[in-house]
Structure 1
Amino acid sequence: MKKILFTAAAVFALLHTQAQTIADSTGYKSRKLKFEEANLVSSYYQQDGNNAAVTGGIGSQKLTDIANVFDVKFYRYDKKFRKQTFTGEIGIDHYTSASSDRVDLKVNSSASHADTRFYPSVSWSVENENKGTTFTVGASSSTEFDYQSFGANVLFAKKTKNKNGEFSAKLQTYLDQVKLVTPIELRPAGGGRGDDYNYGTAARNTFAGSLSYAQIVNQKFHFALLADAVTQNGFLSLPFYRVYFKDGSVHQEKLPDARTKFPLGFRANYFLSDKFIIRTYYRYYTDNWGIQSNTANIEVPIKITPFISVAPFYRYYNQTASKYFAAYQTHTAANQYYTSNYDLSKFSSNFYGAGIRLVPPTGVFGLQHFSMLELRYGHYQKSIDMNANIISLNLKFK
């Protein structure tokens, strides 16, 4: 089943760094393909709550998810001395969900209670270090039982003359097919119960444009301005989400077939001293479904030794409710669109935790190419009786 759940991916993301330029005494840069780095991120996510959209906004939201993402980077210099970087990534998630198991209310456990998602991606980038330009193209896919997605992206970045500022523009598209897994009581008579039922599919398309500007003001202060515009069209509901009307009747979630989103963000890092960094982030979001939200994040990496640091973090989030949301047995036949998915309700949330990072000069555990180990833990809590925990391990090899 397609998962609609909180994710700490942005906080627990892969940590990429640039390799040093390789040049001999003549200034020649090698054109042979060379290994730059590899990253492995594994995480365990667990949540609980009482507002499952599969059962109309009530019921268990117990869910566990085990995710593993591995990427590898290679680079070379071409005849024009431009750095070309090739990146391949493979991700695999496996989850179990109490709410997804309730697509059929009459069985204790079904094939719907668990699923595995597989999502590979590739990218190629060309950096002209003299001109300060970077051009990147990429492609991705994601496959699970009820969802198939294909994505593509292109990015252009240009540094300022003094190399202290950088402007970037990115375009992304995702072309998806949603399997129309209907609650069993809403299927045609004689349609069958199992997950081998012929559900049919519907299209969902996403197009996004992003602009950003990053500036190094001085040795202590860096900031970035971020702006996005996202448009979606097609089947934007989730077909197995129930909505119970005031008269007790049950319906499939029904949402408009178009949505536009406009996030604006600001990121600032201040190097307080050799041992303390303050990282902050703020984002404002609005869309045409009536949701407005604010996100504020702070993280303070503290260097314990030259090779060990800890980083406590805190994120606060709030949002207004979508104009299409109402709780269990609240909607009526007068509503054109309706959902009881609490991800579209009014709520606030807190996410806090800490990470520890090891970067010994001789390599982690004395292994020279094992350059970094990071372990992070976070606790997430919504104001609508939902909480989650995530622990993540990031390993870097260079």
Structure 2
Amino acid sequence: MRKISLIIALLSIGIVTAQEQQQDDTTTYKKRVLESAEVDFLMSYYTQDGDNAAVTGGVGTEELTDITPTIVVSIPLNDDDVLTIDAGISAYSSASSSNVNPFDGNGAANPFVASSGASKKDVLTTISGSYSHSSDDRNSVWSANVAVATEYDYFSIGFGGSYSRLFNEKNTELSIKANVFLDTWKAIYPSELRDQPTFTKFDDESRNSYSVGLGFSQILSKRLQGSLSLDFIQQEGLLSTPFQRVQFADVADVIIEEFTYGDDVERLPDSRFKIAAGGRLHYYINEIFTIRTFYRYYTDDWGINSHTASIEIPIKITDKFTLYPSYRFYTQTKADYFAPFNQHLSTQQFYTSDYDLSDFDANQYGFGISYTDIFTKFHIWKLGLKSIDLRFRQYERNSGLSSNLFSGGLSFIMD
């Protein structure tokens, strides 16, 4: 989803640039891609709960909270080039991951009760940078990016680039992008399995991901804009999560206190190929209403097929305030290797009880409000306020998982 959203964002930027350039064709100077440096301060708060924790084999609390502050700085280097730096942290507390060792708490071990061990919380730190260059006629844009992410048991480095080209009097745009992510795990296993002589640890703790995305955007009329995207993703290496348990139906349960020991950890193939194809239509009704629709089909060689459909209707209530009601529907089939708690067999080669790989339907309801000050009248130091954006999304999965996401952002232009 993030990759498709990135393509659409790049297309939208290109179209806006095209429209601005058409207005300036009679001038003798070249309009800057970005007039002034911009700074965005973003924050999100996420909370979820459910009863199908993969850490404890498909049963147990899925309670989790996550706070993610982020800062994004975009700097025009000259008329044509822009440097963007994106840095943030994700600080989470997870009741399910605390049960990697369920016996280090104050009470009896129980999959529905959080333990108090070190695995209960962690901080993910990310930083990325991108450099983009636009041609003199603004008909082509290329960019390069690099990113680094790290937390206690995980490290990732990524790099990539993109190229976009406008045609047909800037009404048509084609784009291509490619990214590589090189990840390394520091495998953490369930406490009861670590010292078992029959337990087999993973030999390879690396995971590599390679993606290529194609995009097409077309201004169909004064009111209608459409876009299409196609993404290919290949993953190789450790695709299992080392601390997620599996219990076998043909092996006698070992229950200590109120906790069922894992018979093994999740075992999944060391390769996965994904394809996602999507499209968007944006229709401008009038000065108040716009309709934005999206559809995506996804499939992979693990047996998952999914459909995503969403609609958002921005409502411009004044020159400065816009409301954003939205709805998203998602459905998927289960992976070939999924089964619920205690239903796998020890003779199987691959197995997981992670409900993210199960068959389910999900609904997401959203609402947002934005404030835009095109003249940046309000200032903090040398920063002029450009916009304020607040969003809320509620997610419900028919497996029982539910979550809420509060997010907001302040966008400034530097004088």
Answer yes or no: same fold by TM over 0.5: yes
Aligned twin of 1:166: 173
Matched-pair contact (CA < 8 Å) for 1:179–1:199: no
- Structure 2 letter corresponding to 1:342: Y
Give me the identity figure in percent. Answer: 37
In the aligned structure 1, how far is the partner of 2:329 from the partner of 2:340? 24
- Post-superposition Cα deviations, 1:221-240, rounded to whole Å, max 9, x if no partner, equal 00100000000000100000
- Structure 2 letter corresponding to 1:387: S
Aligned twin of 1:308: 321
Q: Please point out which of 86, 89, 101 is paired with 2:86.
A: 89
Aligned twin of 1:349: 362
Aligned twin of 1:277: 290
Matched-pair contact (CA < 8 Å) for 2:157–2:182: yes
Residue 175 of structure 1: how far off its partner (Å): 0.2
Residue 186 of structure 1: SS of its match in structure 2?
coil
Q: How does 1:200-239 map to 2 (within 5 A)?
A: 202-239=205-242
In the aligned structure 2, how far is the partner of 1:365 from the partner of 1:169? 39
2:76 paired with 1:61: no
Residue 343 of structure 2: SS of its match in structure 1?
coil
Residue 68 of structure 1: how far off its partner (Å): 1.2
Residue 317 of structure 2: SS of its match in structure 1?
strand
Aligned twin of 1:70: 71
Matched-pair contact (CA < 8 Å) for 1:364–1:373: no
Residues 34/219 of structure 1: CA separation in 2 closer, same or farther (3 Å cut): closer
- Structure 1 letter corresponding to 2:349: Q
Matched-pair contact (CA < 8 Å) for 1:46–1:389: yes
- Structure 2 letter corresponding to 1:61: E
Residues 328/111 of structure 1: CA separation in 2 closer, same or farther (3 Å cut): same
Residue 286 of structure 1: how far off its partner (Å): 0.3
In the aligned structure 2, how far is the partner of 1:251 from the partner of 1:298? 42
Aligned twin of 2:303: 290
Residue 37 of structure 1: how far off its partner (Å): 1.2
- Structure 2 letter corresponding to 1:38: V
Aligned twin of 1:177: 184
Aligned twin of 2:123: 116
Matched-pair contact (CA < 8 Å) for 1:69–1:91: yes
Aligned twin of 1:102: 99
In the aligned structure 2, how far is the partner of 1:323 from the partner of 1:134? 41
Matched-pair contact (CA < 8 Å) for 2:204–2:238: no
Q: Which runs of 4+ in 1 moved over 2 A?
A: 13-21, 25-31, 33-36, 198-201, 360-368
Residues 201/114 of structure 1: CA separation in 2 closer, same or farther (3 Å cut): farther
2:158 paired with 1:151: yes
In the aligned structure 2, how far is the partner of 1:199 from the partner of 1:104? 19
Q: Please point out which of 236, 241, 246 is paired with 2:244.
A: 241
Residue 177 of structure 1: how far off its partner (Å): 0.1
Matched-pair contact (CA < 8 Å) for 2:41–2:409: yes
Residue 349 of structure 1: SS of its match in structure 2?
strand
In the aligned structure 2, how far is the partner of 1:228 from the partner of 1:26? 39
- Structure 1 letter corresponding to 2:352: T
Residue 14 of structure 1: how far off its partner (Å): 9.5
Aligned twin of 2:38: 37
Q: Report the TM-score, using the length of structure 1 for normalisation.
A: 0.88
In the aligned structure 1, how far is the partner of 2:86 from the partner of 2:57? 37
Residues 228/106 of structure 1: CA separation in 2 closer, same or farther (3 Å cut): same
Matched-pair contact (CA < 8 Å) for 1:14–1:39: no
In the aligned structure 2, how far is the partner of 1:74 from the partner of 1:28? 21
In the aligned structure 1, how far is the partner of 2:378 from the partner of 2:131? 32
- Structure 1 letter corresponding to 2:248: F
- Post-superposition Cα deviations, 1:353-384, rounded to whole Å, max 9, x if no partner, equal 21001013443757671110011011000000
Matched-pair contact (CA < 8 Å) for 1:179–1:201: no
In structure 1, runs of 5+ residues without a counterpart are 1-5, 191-197
Residue 355 of structure 1: SS of its match in structure 2?
strand
Residue 102 of structure 1: SS of its match in structure 2?
helix
Residues 26/282 of structure 1: CA separation in 2 closer, same or farther (3 Å cut): closer
Matched-pair contact (CA < 8 Å) for 2:30–2:136: no
Residue 99 of structure 2: SS of its match in structure 1?
helix
- Structure 2 letter corresponding to 1:262: I
- Post-superposition Cα deviations, 1:27-80, rounded to whole Å, max 9, x if no partner, equal 45599x974311111000000000000000000000000001111111133xxx
In the aligned structure 2, how far is the partner of 1:92 from the partner of 1:311? 27
RMSD of aligned alpha carbons: 2.9
Residues 200/323 of structure 1: CA separation in 2 closer, same or farther (3 Å cut): closer
Residue 182 of structure 1: SS of its match in structure 2?
coil
Residue 225 of structure 2: SS of its match in structure 1?
strand
In the aligned structure 1, how far is the partner of 2:306 from the partner of 2:394? 20
- Post-superposition Cα deviations, 1:146-172, rounded to whole Å, max 9, x if no partner, equal 110000011011001310111000000
In the aligned structure 1, how far is the partner of 2:315 from the partner of 2:393? 17
- Structure 2 letter corresponding to 1:103: V
Residues 325/164 of structure 1: CA separation in 2 closer, same or farther (3 Å cut): same
Aligned twin of 2:389: 374
In the aligned structure 2, how far is the partner of 1:329 from the partner of 1:207? 34
In the aligned structure 2, how far is the partner of 1:128 from the partner of 1:314? 38
Matched-pair contact (CA < 8 Å) for 2:373–2:385: no
Q: How does 1:318-329 map to 2 (within 5 A)?
A: 318-329=331-342
- Structure 1 letter corresponding to 2:143: T
Aligned twin of 1:391: 406
- Structure 2 letter corresponding to 1:188: D
- Structure 1 letter corresponding to 2:37: E
